[in-house]
Amino acid sequence: MLKTVGKQTIAPVLILTIAYSAMSALADEAKPTAPSTEATASPSISISSSSGGKIENLIKERYLLYHQTLLRANSFDELMPFRSTKMQAEMEKKKSEALAKDGDAGKKMMAGLFSMVKAMEPRNVTVTAVAITGDSAELSVTASDAGEFPDAMNKGFSNMANSISAGLGAKPGATKPMRSTTTGKIKMVKEGGNWLVGEESWATKVTNLTPAQEAKKNAEDAQKKGLSSWCAPAASMAFPQKPAAGRIHGQPFVVENAELSNDILTLRQGRDFFADREFVIFVFGLDGKLEGQQVVVKDGAPVGKSSCHVHMKWLVQGKSLPETAMFMPTDGYGIRIAFGQRDPKTGLLPGYIVLRMPDKEQSFVQGYFYAKRK
């Protein structure tokens, strides 16, 4: 949403998400060469202070031992005692397929594959939660790094962002440093009395937002998600059988005048040049043929061939110009407009509307109107 009065345009920030499954590489051929796997520092391993019972701690310790073994191992064979039967079978199948092609080449292929898996594994991990269901468990894990290979990628993206900013004339040091947040989900199963590691997946989000900015963005995203439950129903609600009215920016709104000009529908309250409050709806896709047509937008996208943009305006006491907020479909508003047939005597075009806006005041208008050509 863009504010046109008293607001400053803010340049977009860069957010990148890198996700991978640690063992999904087993399903693809590995190249003979792989990134170096020598660690620059010993990995730190910690268990969340909110430790659960004995079983939870046992599962945590088993996973952390596996993780430490992986970072020190030289081949998949050293990991076999920690892996579930299913994962062992996948490893053996991949190994057999590689060796069947060519002995030496197959060995190099498996060595390269292991190096890649090892390079993708985060080094400094913390188990934050363990959820147990019968003989299965899922661990939630955070990491202070993304792994050797992803960290190199993150550094590359940061350098690229700095280069782009410099090319656009930004001052040295003006570009915010990149930060990454890595989280993982580890599935474990109990087999023969032992807890073994199954599927392992990690996701790394790279951003140049500060922690405070990211927290603000997350709060705004959560607010938008909550507003969806308010806006989305407008696209399928029954039309109220009453004159159009509602609320704009927390102020009561009654449609006193409806005008139509070049596929722009204006619903106004107030008789002065600047309306006290008004919705201005720009209709696209109908080429002036509004009679008998509908405009529907739900969950950020038009339903059907027509769409619209919505401008919302309101006067503030002490100011001569109205405040204006502009909304695109992607802002999440919900709208349904149905136009009837023009009255040949009066020239008025009847219509119904249900419109719900994604602003924090939950502005809206609903009911019927008669629009005159301007």
Is residue 245 located within the same domain as residue 149?
Answer: no
* Distance from C-alpha of 265 to C-alpha of 276, rounded to nearest angstrom: 17
- pLDDT of residue 95 exceeding 50, the answer is yes
Global pTM reads 0.46
Question: What pLDDT is stored for residue 24 in this prediction?
Answer: 47
pLDDT of residue 302: 84
Distances (CA, A) of 352 to 129, 257, 266, 293: 52, 14, 13, 11
The pLDDT of residue 367: 97
135: in domain: yes
pLDDT at position 203 is 86
> Mean pLDDT, to the nearest integer, of 184-211?
88
**pLDDT (mean) for 4-11:** 40
Q: How confident is the model at residue 116 (pLDDT cuts 50, 70, 90)?
A: confident
Burial annotation 11-33 (CB, 10 A radius, 16+ → b, else e): eeebeeebebebbebbeeebeee
Residue 71 contacts by C-beta under 8 Å, 6 or more apart in sequence? Answer: 39, 43, 118, 121, 123
Has residue 83 been placed in a domain?
yes
Decide if 63 contacts 186 (C-beta within 8 A). Answer: yes
Rounded to 5 degrees, φ, ψ at 308 are: -160, 160
Query: What is the residue-wise DSSP string for 178-193?
Result: PEEEEEEEEEEEEETT
Residue 20 shares a structural domain with residue 157 = yes
Please say if the pLDDT value at position 257 is more than 60.
Answer: yes
What is the pLDDT, as a whole number, of residue 81?
93
Average model confidence (pLDDT) for the chain?
79
Q: What pLDDT is stored for residue 7 in this prediction?
A: 39
pLDDT at 351: 95
Number of domains the chain is built from: 2
Q: Which residues pair with 26 in a beta bridge?
A: none
Q: In 3D, which of 180, 201, 54 has the Cα closest to residue 121?
A: 201
Q: Please work out, in degrees rounded to the nearest 5, the angle formed at the alpha carbon of residue 209 by the alpha carbons of 204 and 211.
A: 85
Per-residue pLDDT band for 332 (boundaries 50, 70, 90) equals confident
Q: Is the pLDDT of residue 161 over 60?
A: no
pLDDT attached to residue 31: 39
148: which DSSP letter?
A: H
What mean pLDDT comes out for the span 85-98?
A: 87
Same-domain check for residues 148 and 245: no
Higher per-residue pLDDT: 10 or 297: 297
pLDDT given for residue 67 in this prediction: 92
Check residue 30 and give its pLDDT.
Answer: 40
Give the β-pairing of 125-133 and 45-47: parallel
312 & 176 share domain: no
Q: Give the rounded percent of residues in the chain with a pLDDT score beyond 70.
A: 74
Residues 143 and 242 in one domain: no
Each residue's pLDDT tens digit, 298-326: 877 888 888 899 999 999 988 889 999 99
Q: Give residue 238's domain range.
A: 233-373
142 lies in some domain: yes
**Residue 272 clears pLDDT 60, i.e. is over it:** yes
Q: Is residue 91 part of a domain?
A: yes
pLDDT of residue 89: 92
Phi, psi of 15 (to 5 degrees): -130, 125
Residues 243, 201 share a domain = no
28 and 169, same domain (yes or no): yes
Residue 30 lies in a domain: yes
Q: What is the pLDDT of residue 47?
A: 41
The answer to the question of residue 281 being in a domain is yes
Domain identity same for 284 and 176:
no
Are residues 251 and 204 part of one domain?
no
Give the containing element (helix H, strand E) for 110: helix 103-120
Q: What is the structure's pLDDT at 215?
A: 75
Let me know: does 23 contact 199? Beta carbons within 8 Å: yes
At residue 267, does pLDDT exceed 90? yes
Using DSSP bridges, classify how beta strands 245-248 and 251-254 pair: parallel, antiparallel or unpaired. Answer: antiparallel
What is the structure's pLDDT at 98? 79
Comparison of pLDDT for 3 and 326, the residue scoring more: 326
Which among 122, 98, 79, 100 has a CA at the least distance from the CA of 32?
98
Q: What does the pLDDT read at residue 175?
A: 53
80 occurs within a structural domain? yes
Identify which has the larger pLDDT, 12 or 144: 144
41 is a domain residue: yes
313 shares a domain with 203? no
* Percent of the chain topping pLDDT 90: 44
